[in-house]
Structure 1
């Protein structure tokens, strides 16, 4: 799905009703990202310190590639 094709009203409803998950490795849930799995194969990611800001949106495939990159150490600083 193209992000340009997302109906803003639909997305607003999805985000308002989203079940945000915080990493179990966070320090009290205040210094990490939060993830919400939306309908239509979208994943929203936001900063837990600034949840009022718009989240980043990814397809399921993009999110899976991101997680695999983390698991395989591909996103570490050199």
Structure 2
């Protein structure tokens, strides 16, 4: 996939490439392990990964785009 706007990061990158990003899982997630984790590795960027594969691929979004998406989901 293509690079995010001026961030230098790309979708499908390895979580390892994000270095010291702090990953968080929703407090509403169960113990089953079917969860996504979210990190804000740099200003204006949000990263999402599968909690079962923490070294696997990461989806990277502009922070504003992800926040807008989450707001629309909450109101649906």
The interval holding the TM-score normalised by the smaller chain is 0.7 to 0.9
Question: TM-score, length-normalised on structure 1?
Answer: 0.72
Number of residue-to-residue matches in the alignment = 68
Cα distance change, pair 7–30 in 1 and its aligned pair in 2 (3 A): closer
C-alpha distance in 2, partners of 1:7/1:67?
A: 21
Higher alpha-carbon Rg: 1
State whether structure 2 residue 63 is matched by structure 1 residue 60. yes
Bigger RCO of structures 1 and 2 (CA < 8 A, at least 6 apart): 2
Q: Is the 8 A contact 1:23 1:29 kept in 2?
A: no
The unaligned stretches of length 5 or more in structure 1 are 74-78
The unaligned stretches of length 5 or more in structure 2 are 11-15
Aligned residue runs from structure 1 range 1-78, under 5 A: 3=4, 5=6, 6=8, 12=17, 15-28=18-31, 30-73=33-76
Instruction: Give 4+ residue runs of structure 1 displaced > 3 Å after superposition.
Output: none
Q: Of Structure 1 and Structure 2, which has the larger fraction of its residues in helix?
A: 1
